[in-house]
Amino acid sequence: RIDQVVAWEALDSRGRPTVACRVTVSGGSSGRAVVPSGASTGSYEAVELRDGGHRYGGKGVRRAVEQVNTVLADAVRGLDTAEPDAVDLLLEELDGSSRYARLGGNAVLAVSVAAARAGATAAGMSLARWLHGPGALPLPMPMINVISGGAHAGRAIDVQDLLVIPLGAAGFTEALEWCARVREEARRLALAAGHGAAVLVADEGGLGVPLGGNAEALDLLVRAIESAGFTPGTDVAVAIDVAANQLWTGDGYELGSEGRTLATAELVDEIAGWVARHPVVSVEDPLHEDDWDGWAAGTRRLAGVQVIGDDLFATDPSRLAEGVRRGAANAVLVKVNQNGTLRGARGVLDDAQRAGWATVVSARSGDTEDDWLADLAVGWRAGQIKVGSVHRSERCAKWNRLLELEATEDTTFTNPWREAAV
């Protein structure tokens, strides 16, 4: 049973405050969690409680920490962590407002994750095993950022993420090594082309260089796949996160790196052109979060491509249901801090899988050295995980955790593409 809940203010990978929390249960076992924070956030996400004022430019989280140490601690004390949903159900009920505006999504998530960790520790299991139950643990296929743009890289290019998916890899260890090899080649090619800034890293560890626009950046990525010794599309494929919310001006999509503004149909045409010319197998947030009709038409247009809703769904069950009804996408990005609790985020993941959709568990651009996300991706059988690049330790913490699980537990490797092909 929960004995003690203590929160404090920690820093995320951008040097901004975030909520950290430790939950201790009777018998002395404890669980700790630090929560992440996005930059290209959607309007429908759980609300972060921030202090305002001068400290940390208004981004302090002392109020959220105070909520945990008082209201939330009092509420969850005595609950049994062996009941995985008990804490989350209570947190959901306690807030009562929409999207945790009252308690703070950052406060609520910290308690939710720390309690789950305490439950797993008390049961003598990894969090992945505790969430999964018996049987081989399915390690997810990684989707790894190589080139960054948009809000994560000073708009060096407009598209937020150009990523690789190592479709042909036989296991997680190999998958990671292949992606690291491609990133290294991309860096080498960018430097050779005179982009000295390729030695620096963007918010998620990718190359944040203005490579001459979006299509040119895609070209460079495909050349990097080839020069790393892989066959594009067979061994290693490309994924794109357009993060179109960030490009939407109210009456068009502004591609600043190319000096063009596109209408909805033109942006879909542009993306369809990228898909036709390059081995792109996955496209995230091709349009902004309120264009349901555009999404449905775009998903039909991009038939055969994994179309992922991130800001569109904001890990919200009613938005996902709307998307399934409309055929607005065929995959969902699951970010637990968009939802607020583990139970809530897992519900969205399960709903999506029941609808036959793919699921990708994702970190945030402001993340931490904490690695619980890796255990969620495995324990929830997500199939895919997106954490950023293979640079920066807040990214590698998750990759390293998956390597640890592969080395220490009974695991299998999930390859949604190979399974789809057979």
Q: Is 59 a catalytic residue?
A: no
Phi-psi region of 99 (alpha: psi -120 to 50; beta: other; left: phi over 0): left
Catalytic residue, candidates 48, 185, 204, 406: 204
Query: Is the CB of 121 or the CB of 365 nearer to ligand PGA?
Result: 365
One-character DSSP codes across 217-280: HHHHHHHHHHHTT--BTTTBEEEEE--GGGTB-SSSEEEGGGTEEE-HHHHHHHHHHHHHHS-E
Q: Cα–chain-centroid distance for residue 402?
A: 15
Is residue 362 a contact point for ligand PGA (CB under 6 A)?
Answer: yes
Residues 6+ apart with CB under 8 A from 327: 296, 299, 300
Active site residue 322: no
Partner whose footprint covers residue 362, from Zn ion, ligand PGA, none (CB < 5 to 8 Å by kind): ligand PGA
For ligand PGA, the binding residue among 95, 158, 289, 310 (CB under 6 A) is: 310
* Region for 213 from its dihedrals, namely left if φ exceeds 0, alpha if ψ lies in -120 to 50, beta otherwise: left
Q: Which stretch binds ligand PGA (CB under 6 A): 47-55, 106-114, 217-225, 360-368?
A: 360-368
Phi-psi region of 259 (alpha: psi -120 to 50; beta: other; left: phi over 0): left
CB of 173 to ligand PGA, least distance (A): 25
Out of 38, 119, 168, 286, point to the residue binding ligand PGA (CB under 6 A). Answer: 38
Residues 197-256 interacting with ligand PGA (rule: CB under 6 A): 241, 243
Minimum distance from residue 289 beta carbon to ligand PGA (Å)? 11
Per rule CB under 5 A, is residue 241 in the interface with Zn ion?
Answer: yes
Q: Are 259 and 290 in contact (CB under 8 A)?
A: no
Structure tokens at 117: 């960790």
Report what 41 binds from ligand PGA, Zn ion, none; CB cut-off 5-8 Å by kind. Answer: ligand PGA
**From the list 88, 310, 370, 371, which residue makes contact with Zn ion (rule: CB under 5 A)?**
310
Of 5-13, 106-114, 166-174, 358-366: span binding ligand PGA (CB under 6 A): 358-366
Q: How far is CA 76 from CA 6, 80, 111, 287, in A?
A: 12, 9, 9, 40
Site for ligand PGA contains 365 (CB under 6 A):
yes
Catalytic residues, which ones? 204, 335
**Residues tagged in the binding site annotation for (2R)-2-phosphoglycerate:** 160, 335, 364-365, 386
